Structure 1
């Protein structure tokens, strides 16, 4: 029993040392915004890197958020120095908006317990581990699916993930907002909880890439 407890303490210390202690949170939520539907919304900051016609972007990283089991996680946990120019350039292939990169670090990264370099490395690692379903990568025409069907497509494309690791959120008009994928603090996939949200619409509109 003592050996088992000691082993668990060592494991916890290792995770804290490598991935950071940060504020009090339970897991990470990787948010993948669906660019065509975001860019079609009447409000919001539309960066031309994301919304200019011809970019043909599909799912792009919105952020990696410290999350609570039963509620929203912490945000804005420290002053946080601006993200360096070199790191911004590295991340533009994942988050095609410099202002959003800075925003995500200030609002969420500062709560992770990680340095900016390690936080954005965690974003790259989690995003690279997720396969977008083939028919949702760059659809050529509008698609209508139930939220559960989208989640099932992600689960089928990522068989190593728990089926419950995927959630869908939508805008009020029923257009697809985000795919959300849940990860433990050590960045292994895990089931989401109610705090990850859900889309209440019966049918979700997925606009074609443009």
Structure 2
């Protein structure tokens, strides 16, 4: 049994949401030109406020993560050979920044979750992410969640220059994908923020399940 039919559906949702989200907003001319030495009645122009990062807890309580505001949720049911799979997507984008922060997860049927090899699932997720987004892999490595579940960290860039840094975990029959998609221009300046975002993700184990 494979899960190849599922990942393109996840990635299609991610692409349809993140493509517009990470597009740069055109700058606005906030200061009107004035004559030299003329008294100005305009209020001083202030810099855009930095996003307020808050701890977000999933509606079902199964994960927590720091988000720049309340993320937008998108739920979509997809038919697969395993049955109906519900995809849950949470996305947030700070104003005036060329970055989108996403968490997407899906639960597998119980029988499949019992039989599946976690590394196979993670490797398929990596390969299909690269193929579907037509991206080149920059780096990868095996990781584990704070409570010991297997994971993988990857970073890749597509032809448009969008860089995605993602961490994926397989825990209790659920695949989590935690991503930050940024422009190449802002990737370096946002590196510490993205790292903090990814580090803040915590899987909350559901008692009574494996």
Q: TM-score, normalised by structure 1?
A: 0.30
| Larger relative contact order, structure 1 or 2 (CA cutoff 8 Å, min sep 6) | 1
Q: TM-score, normalised by structure 2?
A: 0.30
Higher-strand-fraction structure: 2
